[in-house]
Structure formats: C-alpha cells, structure tokens
Structure 1
Amino acid sequence: MEGTRYLDSEFRFNSGRLSLDLAATVRRRASTPIDVLGNPNACGRWLKAAGLFSDVPELSAENEEALIRLREAIWKLVTGAMETRYPEDATAVVNAAARFPLGTPQLQSRSGTVSVVSDDPFATAMSTIARDAIELVSGSLRLRLKTCDQPDCRMLFVDTSPSGQRRWCSMQRCGSRAKGHAFRQRHELSVRA
C-alpha cells in the first residue's frame, strides 16, 4: 500500500472547488513554484484522484498540455475575477474546455453504483473542470474567493466559514506555520526585552 499513501498525499483537495484544486497543483506560486503535474503520469493520477476517472487514464502529451493550459487559465481567471476582471485569454481557454458535453450518468442495477459514459472521457473531464470554474467566477461564491495569507503559498480557496474570515488554505498547513512563526517572533521579542 505504499503507492496508495503516496497518491493520497500527492495532491491537495481542500480548496472547496474542483477547478481550484486543479490550480493548486502548482504549490508555492508566490515563492519557488512546485508543479506537481510535472511528474511522470501525474496528470492522469490527478484526474483519478479528483474522481473524474475510475482508473488512471493514459494521456497523450497533448492531453497533458491541455490540462496544464486549463489549470493556468483557471488561475488567471479566478485571480482576475476576485478583482472583477475576466481576462480574455483565460476566459477563452476555459470556455473552449467547457464546450464539450458532460458524460451521461448510468446506474448499475446490481450494485447501485453510478458510472459516467462519454464518447471522449478526457474532454468530459476537462469540461467538468471548466464548467466548475465558470460557475465559481460567475456566481455568489466569487465573493468568497480568497488566496492563502501565507506569503509563499497563495493557494486559492473558497471561504465557507460562517464569518467569512478564513485566512489560510488549511489550518493544518499554512495556518499552523503562520501561528508558529508569530509565536517565535513574540518569544524572541520577550527574550530581548
């Protein structure tokens, strides 16, 4: 099960939206970016981990480039929408990906499980992600979009807290780091005094 633990921690799915989870595949955008989709077969693993495929799909180089192009367009579109700007180039990429029809859900009579049938599963996955981004930047959740306050992180997320005062993408990651840093600074000041 070593591979399973690796896959579980390879990607982050805590932004509150599928499209933002794709954008989160570049970590630490504000400092030294780490592209987790740059690893071999990572695009296919992400699609499976996101629940868009039941097995890791074999993707062509063109498919991988298209997914990465969509990721960057989503980042640009969402950060623009947070300032009520909708960059034309990013909007065009997202709109093009959203044009493909979604898959058809099919209920399995023996197991009660649902599978999605599509003529082009990759295009359906891209459309699902793009439609999520469109819904996000055009609906009321746009007002709840935030970037993580941790200076080197800047991950996008939807603040669903009742007060709307969430500051970090994750309290366990960036929130804990920020609070630890603040504690160390206070301690250092008190030692000097």
Structure 2
Amino acid sequence: MAGTATHHGIPLRSGSGLSYRFDPGALGFELLPTGGPDWMARYEVLHTPEDLRRWVGQSRLDPTPEPEIGAEDVPAARALRDALWRIGLARVAGEGPADADLATLNAAAARPPLVPVIGQDGAAGWAAPATGAQVLSTVARDAIAVLTGPYADRIRICSGDNCALMYVDTSRPGRRRWCAMENCGNRHKVRAHRARQSGE
C-alpha cells in the first residue's frame, strides 16, 4: 500500500524477557498488542499521545510526517483497539460481533483517512498535516478490509501456551500457528524435542 514502510513486525517482549517482533499480518491488527479489554488491560501501553506516536512509528505506517496526536486520540485508539479485539475473538469463535463494537469500528473508519503522497525522491509518505483521527481511520479501514476480504476466515489466536496474540494468517498454505517463530514457535520446538528425548 502506498505510504507504508518496509516492515518486519511490532517489537514485543515475552514474559521471560525475550525481545522479538510480532507481525500480525495487517495494519489493523498491529494495534491489538498495545492492551485490550478485560484481563488484557494489564498490558495497556497507550497512556499518552507520545505512546500513540511511538506505536505509529513501530507500525507498518510510515510516520512521515509524524502525526499530530492529541489527548483525545488516546481513548479513541483504545476504544477502537478494544472493539477490534472483541470483533476478532468473535470471528475466531464463529460468532457474530456485537453491534456496539461494529459501530465503534465503522465510526472510526468514517473519518477522513491518511492521504498518500509521493515525494520528489519517489518515496511514499502522507499528506501533511497528518492527524491522530486520520491514523485511526486508516487502521479501521484496514481492519474492515481484512474482515470482509479473502483472509476473513484466517484470523487466528497463537497456539502457544499462555499466548493470546491475534493475527491474520496471510501465509500461502494458511498453516501459521504462532505469533512468532522466535517466541512461541521455538518454545514449542524445545518442548517437543525434550518430550521426544524423555520418551527414548
């Protein structure tokens, strides 16, 4: 998509302190690891406009120019994220989403999105000034495109023990199981190896 940077995932840290990158497969789902509803609130990282700006810089959005984010954009981002969590979990469970969550998602998408531009050097960016509301609209529109597109049935929860990260499986065979191979995938391989050794 125009205006997106080369991207290798959102930087996260596991409970054991391992730093790794998590690519949920779509911009809309990159907002989810910042916290969430219910028990996920303990992982909340969006407290200030600077926190939201930091997330933009880590996401697949190219933060050029840096968006003008105000205090009102933080609760809006959290509300959108929490609605996306519940919509995604409902989809994984084969259930319909709550009307209130769809209304939150649709309201965010109804705002004007970021406008892609091309510079003299051929690089993509966003028309200035870029606002927090435009960022959230772009995120919401991307999520709607996923939820109504060819990957709508490929929304998954990581198969790792005690891991609830959600992602869109965009792999060609559609067999992705882990949030990241270097995190839950490797832990599974180690456990499987030890189990085989103990059975010998």
TM-score range, shorter chain: 0.7 to 0.9
Aligned to 2:109: 98
Say whether 1:74 aligns with 2:84.
yes
Q: Give 2:98's match in structure 1, choosing from 87, 95, 102.
A: 87
- Structure 1 residues 98-153: Cα deviation after superposition (integer angstroms, max 9, x where no partner): 00122333333x32233322566211111100011111111220111111001311
Structure exhibiting the larger radius of gyration computed from Cα positions: 1
Q: Give 2:189's match in structure 1, choosing from 175, 179, 192.
A: 179
Residues 109 and 140 of structure 2 are in contact (CA less than 8 Å); yes or no, is this contact kept in structure 1? Answer: yes
Q: Give 1:24's match in structure 2, choosing from 21, 24, 33.
A: 33
- 1:38–1:149 CA distance, 2 compared to 1 (3 A): farther
- 1:81–1:32 CA distance, 2 compared to 1 (3 A): closer
Structure 2: 5+ residue runs without aligned partners? 1-9, 14-20
Code of the residue aligned with 1:41 in structure 2: it is: E
Deviation for aligned residue 1:30: 7.7
Equivalenced residue count is 181
Greater than 6 Å deviation, 4+ residue runs: 29-32
SS at the partner of 1:77?
Answer: helix
Q: Normalized against structure 2, the TM-score is what?
A: 0.76
Deviation for aligned residue 1:78: 1.4
Percent identity among equivalent residues?
Answer: 31
Structure 1: 5+ residue runs without aligned partners? 1-7
Query: Normalized per residue, which structure has more helix?
Result: 1
- 1:151–1:30 CA distance, 2 compared to 1 (3 A): farther
- Rounded to whole Å, the distance in 1 between the matches of 2:152 and 2:48 is 31
